[in-house]
Amino acid sequence: MTRLEDVGQADGWRCWLCDEAVDPDMSVNDDRGPSVDSMTSRSKGKATVFGTERLAHRGCNTRKGAIAPVVAWHKDLFVVDPAPIVTSVERLARKRGSEAMGRCPTEADAVAAAEWLVDRVGRLAPGLHVESRIQAGGGQYVVVLTS
């Protein structure tokens, strides 16, 4: 098996950046084709790799460039002031703690966002165990992730 096949199988042939399926048979030169990526973050000009190698579409990997990847929130969620997912997950991976991820207008929205986040972070950082809780106050519901 090649390294790409190993990484692809470990990630279930799903792009860790956009969370969509990757076709293992597509050309590696195609934008929707598979590529191997690594999770790096930049702080004070220093790049840090954390986690293992991950599967990404070539296009997602290329657009990411040298900066931290932008992992999108699901479009159907109603979240005000959504936190940058990768930055928050990096902090949770570095040291245990809590991160406020966004505010929701209703409890149902917050529950949906919390469930989606825990599932999404589980694929983004498989080694990191996070739990969600919802803080109600001031007529809104804040989704908090704790590692």
Cα–Cα nearest to 117, from 99, 97, 135, 105: 99
Residue nearest to Zn ion (CB): 15
Position 15 contacts Zn ion (CB under 5 A): yes
Residue of the chain from 39, 60, 89, 112 that contacts Zn ion (CB under 5 A): 60
Place of tokens 């004070």: 44
138: left (phi over 0), alpha (psi -120 to 50) or beta: left
- Residue selected from 4, 18, 26, 134 as contacting Zn ion according to rule CB under 5 A: 18
Q: Which is nearer to Zn ion, 78 or 116 (CB)?
A: 116
Identify which of 2, 65, 66, 74 has the alpha carbon closest to the alpha carbon of residue 34.
2
Does 111 contact Zn ion by CB under 5 A?
Answer: no
**Interacting residues with Zn ion between 30 and 59 (CB under 5 A):** 57
Binding region for Zn ion (CB under 5 A): 15, 17-18, 57, 60
